Structure 1
Amino acid sequence: MMQKRSLLLLVVIAILVLAGLGALVFHPWRGQSQSVSAAHQLIRPLGCVILDDGRYLITDGGGVNWTDQGSKILIINRQGTVEWSFDQGLRFAHSAIMLRNGNVLIPDTNNDRLLEVDPDKRIVWSSESWGDGSGRLPDGSHLNYPNYVQELDDEHFLVSDRLNSRVIEIDRAGKVYWQFTGASKQHAPKYIGDGRYLIADSDHNRIIEIDQSGQILWSYSAGLSWPRDAVKLSGGNILITDSRNNRLLFVTPEGTVVNEIKGHFSAPYQANLLSSGNILVCDAQHGRLLEVTPDSQITWDFCNRPQPKLSTRLANGNIEELDSSGQPLSWMVCDLQSHNTGRWSVDSNISRNGQHSLAIEGELGSAAANKWWGQVLKVKPGTQLKLTAYAKTEDVRGGAAISIGYLDELGGAMGGVNSAILNGTNDWRELTIIFQVPQGITQINISLSLIGAGMVWFDDVSLDKM
């Protein structure tokens, strides 16, 4: 059961979008999304910094259709005007900060590097220069999925080296001055003064405060699910972004929840307390930046992502329709979360019927990396459906399966179901999901997935009314 839940979380939690908004909300971009250039469209906001002049420095992870494309850094004003942007070669960047020298420092997450960019959009420094161009630190290691950075004194930086499960303090030469390895796949570590650090220990579903020796001085975990950010406020309370529970929490040092804000978010990544007392939230899977009041009212948003036009029927289930480059029509390569560990292909040598199948190969060491072929379809609530696909596996370690993700009218994830999970080597096996579309669900995300390593082939996919 645990394996099934893990696969479902990685496959289905993936896409979350807009909730209803009140009449008093200021929408600087509302109604303009079709005329906004792709370079300025906000797809998946993962980080936001409030600059000294009141503008917002936003990190967009990109990922249209769950592809590893479209990441960018934006600076916008309160009127929603994009005043600066940078997107040169970024892949799933998770955050950015404005340095004291006026440049922008970016953890370029899927490229495993840090980039420093000047106001003229020139790359003036990169961690790729370490180790004579190998990107290796003096201790022989390499950044692995860096997702957060904080500028310290003396040109030192605190970095979330996430898939190495460590927090490191480094300089521009890559020298490691301090590290902490007691948090697993953490997010957003912050030095908070007096030799203390606040860390979102995501894999352990907790927030911890530690000293420089690594001793845990404070922790909070009650009911958290994959927290991605925590901020220590001036009064001593902690603002927690509880990502998979789609909520914000204000927690006292004694562990008492004094406020909970929910009902608007889909996988929120980061939150900042404004001087007004409102909270600025990166509502990641909704593709928007929100300002909310402590009593959960939305007062401002920045949202310019166009909504896709969807079909009501699964297409090319027999994998026989290819475009001129040999790619399968209607199927999307969803590689955003694969972190360079997967290969997608149309296999003309192995198929159950016809001439082709969809294949995914995962590399060793990629146990948590999710890779899938996908389609998103329009559906009617109350409809009973049956999804069927056939899968063949070779030395799969992690799991191969099909899944249905339930999405609301604007693409917000509302749970889902998955099939039996295949591991090891199997000849063609039928995988089936029978489900009734819940009320409020108007779209489904169909995924043919591989978690981890090995090889899987999919063929003869169908979606039928019962």
Structure 2
Amino acid sequence: MPFLTIVGPIVGAVVVAIVTYLTSRPRMRAEVRKLEAESERTIAETTKILSEFRVRSSNVVGDNALPTGWYVTGARPEDYEFGVDTQVFRSGRASAFIQARPGAKEFASLAQAFKADAYRGKRMRLSAMLRTSNVANWAGLWLRVDDALHNVMAFDNTSDARSISGTQSWDRRDVVVDVPEGGASIRIGFILAGEGRVWCDDVEFEEVGLDIPVTRNIQGLREHPENLDFEAGAG
């Protein structure tokens, strides 16, 4: 009897734990899937906005002059300030920056646009060194190729795992796309979404070999297909 008195509660606790585990697994999986779906939706929405917004220049630059050759664009450029910083830079004597104003929403970008003629049929990489201070949402790079009617032919940005947030020292980010033969214009830029400040320096736009993979939609993908006969059961 003493033995059963001791063992009984232990067995009961184990059974309860097993039942709880088995019944909670579907709920846990559902929560994980929900979080993954929300993350993917956020990235997709950001990508859609960036790939579809029509370039609109802005004269809102605060007390600073824009870097030569660059213009301001974005969903709400009026919520941000832009300029050249001669105190903070990675190399040379200056960097460019985007600074959010209090209550900044959406995103803004410093960008360039140029003809695609010299780059058609090539794999091109946009890279830059970025530094951030108190970035609440994210900062990163983007690259877009349009046809003559301004339809998007190729696009990528670093709003995924390649984005930067918080306060980070200089770090490299890059975007790699194939420029279609029908490409007419190329737009490149760096972006700040939400509060904080981002600096950009040492921008490069260069051709790379086919051994360098394009970066669009490859983050987190498996190397090969799996369970093609559906015999592995449910995930």
Query: Do the two structures share a fold, i.e. TM-score over 0.5?
Result: yes
Which secondary structure state, in structure 2, belongs to the residue aligned with residue 6 of structure 1? Answer: helix
Structure 1: distance between partners of 2:189 and 2:82 = 13
Q: Which has the higher helix share?
A: 2
Per the alignment, residue 432 of structure 1 pairs with: 174
Structure 2: distance between partners of 1:326 and 1:451 = 21
Per the alignment, residue 108 of structure 1 pairs with: none
Q: Which runs of 5+ in 2 are unaligned?
A: 1-39, 209-235
Per the alignment, residue 107 of structure 2 pairs with: 370
1:332 corresponds to which of 53, 63, 71 = 71
Per the alignment, residue 164 of structure 2 pairs with: 422
Contact 1:405 1:444 in 2 (8 A): yes
Which secondary structure state, in structure 2, belongs to the residue aligned with residue 346 of structure 1? Answer: strand
Q: Which amino acid aligns with 2:56?
A: W
1:4 corresponds to which of 27, 36, 43 = 43
- Give TM-score scaled by structure 1 length: 0.32
Which secondary structure state, in structure 2, belongs to the residue aligned with residue 340 of structure 1? Answer: helix
2:191 corresponds to which of 415, 425, 449 = 449
Contact 1:11 1:370 in 2 (8 A): no
Structure 1: distance between partners of 2:173 and 2:100 = 20
The CA deviation string for residues 284-305 of structure 1, in whole angstroms up to 9 with x for no partner, is: xxxxxxxxxxxxxxxxxxxxxx
2:57 corresponds to which of 63, 67, 71 = 67
Instruction: Kindly report structure 1 stretches of 4+ aligned residues shifted beyond 6 Å.
Output: none
The CA deviation string for residues 188-232 of structure 1, in whole angstroms up to 9 with x for no partner, is: xxxxxxxxxxxxxxxxxxxxxxxxxxxxxxxxxxxxxxxxxxxxx
Q: Which amino acid aligns with 1:67?
A: S
Structure 1: distance between partners of 2:168 and 2:185 = 31
Corresponding position: 1:344 with 2:82: yes
Q: Which amino acid aligns with 1:365?
A: G
Structure 2: distance between partners of 1:433 and 1:371 = 18
How much has 1:5 moved relative to structure 2? 2.6
Structure 2: distance between partners of 1:364 and 1:399 = 16
Structure 2: distance between partners of 1:429 and 1:339 = 24
1:403-418 equivalences in 2 (<5 Å): 403-418=142-157
1:67-466 equivalences in 2 (<5 Å): 67-68=57-58, 326-334=65-73, 337-338=75-76, 340-367=78-105, 369-379=106-116, 380-419=119-158, 420-466=162-208
Contact 1:8 1:403 in 2 (8 A): no
How much has 1:417 moved relative to structure 2? 0.6
Per the alignment, residue 19 of structure 2 pairs with: none
Structure 2: distance between partners of 1:339 and 1:438 = 30
Per the alignment, residue 53 of structure 2 pairs with: 14
Structure 1: distance between partners of 2:113 and 2:101 = 27
Q: Which has the higher strand share?
A: 1
How much has 1:415 moved relative to structure 2? 4.8
Which secondary structure state, in structure 1, belongs to the residue aligned with residue 89 of structure 2? Answer: coil
Q: Which amino acid aligns with 2:91?
A: N
Structure 2: distance between partners of 1:339 and 1:347 = 19
Q: Which amino acid aligns with 1:389?
A: A
Per the alignment, residue 116 of structure 1 pairs with: none
How much has 1:434 moved relative to structure 2? 1.6
Q: Which amino acid aligns with 1:409?
A: A
Contact 1:383 1:437 in 2 (8 A): yes
How much has 1:333 moved relative to structure 2? 2.0
How much has 1:338 moved relative to structure 2? 1.6
Structure 2: distance between partners of 1:454 and 1:444 = 27
Which secondary structure state, in structure 2, belongs to the residue aligned with residue 372 of structure 1? Answer: strand
How much has 1:351 moved relative to structure 2? 0.2
Structure 2: distance between partners of 1:332 and 1:339 = 11
The CA deviation string for residues 43-99 of structure 1, in whole angstroms up to 9 with x for no partner, is: xxxxxxxxxxxxxxxxxxxxxx52137xxxxxxxxxxxxxxxxxxxxx9xxxxxxxx
Contact 1:359 1:456 in 2 (8 A): yes
Q: Which amino acid aligns with 2:68?
A: L
Contact 2:148 2:183 in 1 (8 A): yes
The structure number with the bigger radius of gyration is 2
Which secondary structure state, in structure 1, belongs to the residue aligned with residue 78 of structure 2? Answer: coil
Which secondary structure state, in structure 1, belongs to the residue aligned with residue 138 of structure 2? Answer: strand
Structure 2: distance between partners of 1:450 and 1:412 = 24
Q: Which amino acid aligns with 1:66?
A: R
How much has 1:364 moved relative to structure 2? 4.1
Contact 1:386 1:465 in 2 (8 A): yes
Q: What is the aligned-residue RMSD (CA, Å)?
A: 2.3
Q: Which amino acid aligns with 2:96?
A: L
Contact 1:341 1:362 in 2 (8 A): yes
Structure 1: distance between partners of 2:83 and 2:77 = 17
Matched residues, number: 161
How much has 1:339 moved relative to structure 2? 5.5
Measured at CA, do residues 415 and 372 of structure 1 come closer, stay the same or move farther in structure 2, by a change above 3 Å? same
Which secondary structure state, in structure 2, belongs to the residue aligned with residue 66 of structure 1? Answer: coil
The CA deviation string for residues 332-361 of structure 1, in whole angstroms up to 9 with x for no partner, is: 1225x3253101111111000011111101
Contact 2:154 2:177 in 1 (8 A): no
Structure 2: distance between partners of 1:427 and 1:439 = 38
